[in-house]
Amino acid sequence: MTAPSAADASPPELGLPKRRGVELSLLIGAVLVVVLGYVNVGLARTGTIPHDATRYGAGLGLLALLSHLVVRFRAPYADPLLLPIAMLLNGLGLVLIYRLDLATPGSRAAPAQLVWSTLGVGLFLVVVLVLRDHRVLQRYAYLSMAAALVLMLVPILFPPINGAKIWIRAAGYSFQPAELAKILLALFFAAYLAANRNALAYTGRRIWRLQLPTGRVLGPIVAIWLLSVGVLVLERDLGTSLLFFGLFVVMLYVATGRTGWIAVGLLLASAGAAAVALFEPHVHARVTDWLNPYATIEAGLGPSQLAQSLFAFAAGGTLGAGLGLGHSVLIGFAAKSDFILATAGEELGLSGLTAIFLLYALLVARGYRAGLCLQSPFGRLLAIGLASILALQVFVIAGGVTGLIPLTGMAMPFMAQGGSSVVTNWIIVALLIRISDSARRPLPAVEPGVIARPEPVEGTAR
């Protein structure tokens, strides 16, 4: 913002700085940290700097620069922390996967992950370039709902992989459509709740201390939610099911402020979880494993995956074993995807793990901050929803691999191996960039003579 002249005395508090320079310097820092990590792994494992370190650094720097330029010109008021954090987490994940590749020469995952990350950044650029205003999305609420349902239903037609029917396979690549569906569901929830929140909160029947809305308003949303959760239980993807439910509850609470619903929701959820844990063997095994991770050791069958994960975290201690010097490959299957955090915990220690958690927390907090700054309910709910997806996903998977909650197969956002997850998370960041740009953009100057700005007309159904 240029300083306004004395003649048109605009209120100074509207003039939020753009902070693009901050973003650029943080991006440079993120790229440097990642390249340093890459060099560190090479030195620790083979004693030499990887021959492609400069090429790799230049490529990453180019991607960062490109995304920075697009943000600078197309979303100049966007939150300066979002992009560097995403870049740092993604780069760190690549380093960890590359490090694990060195220990498993048979199956290399880093090159594919690099391609997916590039694709993710590409989609990020496309979204920031094409989507000029997040409010446009409100029009596509029902379309996105339908798309989400289709995306979740499609994998049922494909053969299960590792017991879960959540993948589509084509041309050697596999994709988890549910990852994309969560954005679409958040979009639908935001649009629908923004339009109907007053009806949800204040109309309807009062039973004891609970204000129940009329079925006409609540019906569609509960139906969608039940359907999505039902599909997920059928597909045996408990993690995503938990995520959707949490997302639904958080958004409903933010929209209506009715704590009674939260209580009912939690009650329903725990009843459902208990039933699933009892009758579904796949989930039952996860719960017993969580209750005693060392049962297989006591039975003489060797450590379970969760026990191996806990061993890895414990081996890290406070300061970690050092990048490239841990033995988290002992986890075996899924060490690069669901259990990627164990490698971070072992090699970077509690200090490194705390830093990673704080990076995620910062990302979520900036999403919430953008939601708070916005005026329109749709934008608010969308920002809260997208940020909550990240928060819940991090909690579910990080809590799972550290033994806090039963383990559910999910990808650590940005870090874990898995194309669909990385691409989806970049889209989330792109949307948050767009929303925060609107949130921090100064309001148009008030024309003299106009007493009040007309209330912006929101969305569709009222």
Partner 1 sequence: MIRYIRRAAAFCLVLLVALLVNAARVQVFEADALDNNPANRRLAIARYHQPRGAIVVGKESVTGSRDSGQQLRYERTYKNGPLYAPVTGYASQTYGTTFVENAEDGVLSGTSSLLSVFPLWNDVTRGRHSGGRAVTTIKASMQRAAYDGLGGKKGAVAAIEPATGKILALVSSPSYEPGVLSGTGRAVAGAWARLTSDPNQPMLNRAIRGTYPPGSAFKIVTAAAALDAGAVTDVDAATDTPDPYVLPNTSTTLPNEASGCGNASLAYAVNVSCNTVMAQLGVKVGLRGMLDAVRKFGFNDTKLRIPSGVAKSNFDTRMSPDQLALSSIGQFDTTATPLQMAMVSAAVANGGDLKYPYLVDRTTTSRGSTVSTTVPRTYQRAMNPATAMRLQQMMVDVVRTGTGTSAAIPGATVGGKTGTAQNGIGNIGSPYAWFISWAQADGAVRPAVAVAVVVEDASAKRGDISGGGDAAPIAKAVMEAALADKP
- Site for partner 1 (CB under 8 A): which residue of 32, 287, 330, 334? 330
**253 part of the interface to partner 1, by CB under 8 A:** yes
Q: Candidates 120-128, 144-152, 157-165, 303-311 — which segment interacts with partner 1 by CB under 8 A?
A: 303-311
Residues forming beta bridges with residue 211, ordered by sequence position: 206
**CB of 265 within 8 A of CB of 249?**
yes
Question: Residue 235 to residues 147, 166, 224, 424: CA-CA distances in angstroms?
Answer: 18, 6, 16, 20
**Position 277 contacts partner 1 (CB under 8 A):** no
Instruction: Pick one of 35, 60, 125, 353: the residue that binds partner 1 (CB under 8 A).
Output: 353
Q: Does 403 bind partner 1 (CB under 8 A)?
A: yes
Q: Least distance from C-beta 323 to partner 1, angstroms?
A: 13
| Residue 189 touches partner 1, criterion: CB under 8 A | no
Tell me the number of residues near partner 1 by CB under 8 A: 50
Q: Which residues of 195-204 are buried (b: 16+ CB within 10 A; e: fewer)?
A: bbbebbeeeb
CA distances from 398 to 61, 244, 254, 372, 434 (A): 29, 17, 25, 27, 28
Is 217 a residue that touches partner 1 (CB under 8 A)? no
2 binds partner 1 (CB under 8 A): no
Residue number with CB closer to partner 1 (72 or 327): 327
Q: Based on the shown chain and the rule CB under 8 A, indicate whether residue 400 belongs to the binding site for partner 1.
A: no
Residue 158 vs 357, nearer CB to partner 1: 357
Closer residue to partner 1 in complex, CB, 67/438: 438
Of 231 and 363, which has the nearer Cβ to partner 1? 363
- Examine residue 327 and tell whether it contacts partner 1 (CB under 8 A): yes
Q: How far is the CB of 253 from partner 1 (least distance, A)?
A: 6
Of 402, 441, 446, 458, the one binding partner 1 (CB under 8 A) is: 402
Nearer to partner 1, 237 or 347 (CB): 347
Nearer to partner 1, 26 or 398 (CB): 398
Q: How far is the CB of 255 from partner 1 (least distance, A)?
A: 7
Q: Is 187 in the site for partner 1 (CB under 8 A)?
A: no
Q: How far is the CB of 394 from partner 1 (least distance, A)?
A: 8
Q: Indicate whether 332 belongs to the interface with partner 1 (CB under 8 A).
A: no
Structure-token match 């989400």, residue found: 148
Interface with partner 1 (CB under 8 A), residue from 357, 441, 446, 458: 357
Q: Which of 50, 93, 324, 349 binds partner 1 (CB under 8 A)?
A: 349
* Residue 294 engages partner 1 in binding (rule: CB under 8 A): yes
Per CB under 8 A, the list member of 11, 76, 215, 317 interacting with partner 1 is 317
User: Whole-number minimum distance, CB 119 to partner 1, in Å?
Assistant: 29
361 lies in the site for partner 1, by CB under 8 A: yes
Q: Minimum distance from CB of 318 to partner 1 (Å)?
A: 6
Cβ pair 77, 434 in contact under 8 A: no
Segment near partner 1 (CB under 8 A); pick from 43-51, 205-213, 237-245, 344-352: 344-352
| 257 belongs to the binding site for partner 1 (CB under 8 A) | yes
Stretch of residues binding partner 1 (CB under 8 A), selected from 19-27, 130-138, 179-187, 314-322? 314-322
List the end-to-end C-alpha distance of the chain, in Å, as a whole number.
37
- The backbone torsions φ and ψ at residue 132, rounded to the nearest 5 degrees and listed phi first, read -85, -30
Is residue 254 at the binding interface for partner 1, with CB under 8 A as the rule?
Answer: yes
Residues in contact with partner 1 by the rule CB under 8 A = 250, 253-255, 257, 294, 297, 302-303, 307, 310-311, 313-319, 321-322, 325, 327, 330, 345, 349-350, 353-354, 357, 361, 364-365, 368, 371-372, 377, 380, 384, 387-388, 391-392, 394-395, 398-399, 402-404
